[in-house]
Amino acid sequence: MREIYTPEVFYFILMLGTFIFLAAIKIPIGVSLMFSALAGAIAFGEFFPVRHLVEGAFGYIDTMLIIATAMIFMASIKHSGLLDTLAKKMALGLKNQPTLLLVLMTFFIMIAGMITGSSTATVLTTGAISYPVLKSMNLSKKKAGAIIAMAGIYGMIAPPVNLPAMIIGQGVDMPYIGFTPPLLLLTFPLAIVSSLVIAGNQLKPVNVDELAIEDIPSSNFAIYLPAIVMIILMVLENVGILSLGLPLIFIISAILATFTGRKGNIFKTSVEAMRDSLGILSILAGVGMFIQIMTLNGVRGMIVGFLNGLPSEILLIGIAIGIPLFGAVSSYGSASVLGVPFLLAFLGGNDIVVCSALSLLAGLGDMVPPTALAGIFAAHIVGEKNYFKVWVAGLPSFFITMVYATFVIANSKSFGKFVEGNSFYPVFFIGLAILFVLFIIFDKFKIRRQTT
């Protein structure tokens, strides 16, 4: 009979318990992860393994560079007025197509998460800018907050930057390549369904008198150049024509943003952005230490061995519930502690698709109490004092996302064939175009019906 109480079980309980305790008493997540890793090392007999701690902390240095430079870029285009300009022009141009505008505003909110990999940064930037538009469409505070929070999570998971997927992939030595199609399929359809489900029948055409968006600094084409240059450089990077890397692409685009729209100071903007990103960067360093020590003391191998022995049905239930629940402490911590072994337990399927779906489940942790960073910040943005109203309004989307991600994991081979095929991008974008046309027709029919 297999031994149940092994040293690895003790190490795991000690590390996990230390982490939860420190996080519960409001110790920063990155610091909590570091001390949890240190506790696991001491119990294993390594009093202060400097080499392993340093090696683990620098395990995500590439990801840290991406996040730091992405935050600088977002701060630059926010200061230049690009984000305000986009939001106002969409609202005024589509004021009589509320359904289409709602979907496009959801995509707009996601932009910050797609670039920074952080739901919190998304809520506080594009989420805050979008709220006046959502409010002008007759959405209540709780519904607008739920849409912003869930869009922040979807943006965090959408390509090109997905931190939980990078963390999981790093844990199994899987490069962050080929994730764009599955992440698009996971996030954008859910974003559409989520916003429509939350909004329900409250949605109305934009009330221009209530539209309180900051005046745009300029209406000329130059203000859009930073985003255009960034997209062009990313495309050239993906097709192999250039090899600049995401950090350099973000820095080039950020510098350009200081000369378009409102004039800015790149040094001052960079300092402010780095200050705002220290929390995320420290979490990544802590996650690296945590995984390194789990590998050193055998906990990682023990978890994988245990999960591989479970029936697939039980394993799927554990994934659907366990990863978002643990993500309440930290979505990044959930990706490292549970995402890595769950991915190893599903080897034999399509690893990229499984990793993508696991990252989505980890991201849901940002809506799980008591921390619920995305939900709490969204409630603050919309002026809703009771966060739980936002949380309840987002529950339908939360469960739809949880079920969809689990279904994708269970059928990863089938999804893999579709996203890896040549027909994926044509089908995906044509499908979006058809949906947009249907939304326009629906809005015109609804308005005509209300006026007759």
Q: Is residue 302 pLDDT above 60, yes or no?
A: yes
Pick from 148-162, 163-177, 431-445: least confident: 163-177
Q: What is the mean pLDDT of residues 368-397?
A: 84
- Which pLDDT band, with edges at 50, 70 and 90, does 212 fall under? low
Side chain identity, residue 58: F
CA atoms within 13 A on the CB side of 296: 26
Q: How far apart are CA 30 and CA 282, in angstroms?
A: 5
Q: Is residue 239 pLDDT above 80, yes or no?
A: no
Q: What is the pLDDT of residue 100?
A: 93
Q: How far apart are CA 39 and CA 18, in angstroms?
A: 8
Pick from 70-74, 218-222, 226-230, 373-377: least confident: 218-222
**Does residue 152 contact residue 382 with C-beta atoms inside 8 Å?**
no
**Does residue 382 contact residue 198 with C-beta atoms inside 8 Å?**
no
Domain chopping of the chain, boundaries: 7-451
Q: Is residue 125 pLDDT above 50, yes or no?
A: yes
Pick from 32-41, 251-260, 316-325, 326-335: least confident: 326-335
**Residue 94, token pair as written in the block:** 């589509």
* pLDDT over 70, % of the chain: 94
Q: Is residue 263 pLDDT above 60, yes or no?
A: yes
Q: What is the pLDDT of residue 437?
A: 93
Q: Is residue 80 pLDDT above 80, yes or no?
A: yes
Q: Is residue 192 pLDDT above 80, yes or no?
A: yes
Q: Whole-model pTM?
A: 0.80
Query: What does the buried/exposed string (b/e) look like for 428-442 if buried means 16 or more CB atoms within 10 Å of the residue's CB?
Result: beeebeeeeeebeee
Q: What is the mean pLDDT of residues 248-261?
A: 88
Q: Is residue 16 pLDDT above 90, yes or no?
A: no
Q: Which residues fall within 8 angstroms of residue 44, CB to CB, at 6 or more apart?
A: 7, 11, 293, 296, 297
Q: What is the pLDDT of residue 216?
A: 54
| Backbone CA torsion sign across 411, 103, 178, 166 | negative
Q: Is residue 213 pLDDT above 60, yes or no?
A: no
Q: What is the pLDDT of residue 1?
A: 40
Highest mean pLDDT among 43-57, 115-129, 203-217, 347-361: 347-361
pLDDT, greater one: 115 or 450 = 115
Q: What is the pLDDT of residues 310-350, one digit of tens each?
A: 777 788 888 888 888 877 767 877 887 788 888 888 877 89
Give, to the nearest 10 degrees, the angle between helix 98-116 and helix 128-136.
170
Q: How far apart are CA 66 and CA 283, in angstroms?
A: 14
Q: What is the pLDDT of residue 371?
A: 65
Q: How far apart are CA 47 and CA 383, in angstroms?
A: 48
Q: What is the mean pLDDT of residues 374-388?
A: 84
Cα dist. 163→83, 281, 288 in Å? 23, 11, 13
**Does residue 368 contact residue 325 with C-beta atoms inside 8 Å?**
yes
- Which pLDDT band, with edges at 50, 70 and 90, does 157 fall under? very high
Highest mean pLDDT among 108-122, 147-161, 269-283: 147-161
β partners of residue 178: none
CA atoms within 13 A on the CB side of 290: 32
For 209-247, the three-class secondary structure string (H helix, E strand, C coil) is: HHCCCCCCCCCCHHHHHHHHHHHHHHHHHHCCCCCCCHH
Distance of CA 365 to the CA centre of its chain: 10
pLDDT, greater one: 447 or 391 = 391
Residue 347 sits at φ, ψ, to 5 deg, of: -60, 140
Q: What is the pLDDT of residue 395?
A: 93
Q: What is the pLDDT of residue 218?
A: 53
Highest mean pLDDT among 47-56, 89-98, 170-179, 431-440: 431-440
Q: Which residue has the tokens 């996650």?
A: 287
**Does residue 393 contact residue 353 with C-beta atoms inside 8 Å?**
no
* pLDDT over 90, % of the chain: 28
Q: What is the mean pLDDT of residues 255-263?
A: 85
Q: What is the pLDDT of residue 211?
A: 67
In whole numbers, what is the pLDDT of the chain averaged over residues?
85
Q: Is residue 413 pLDDT above 70, yes or no?
A: yes
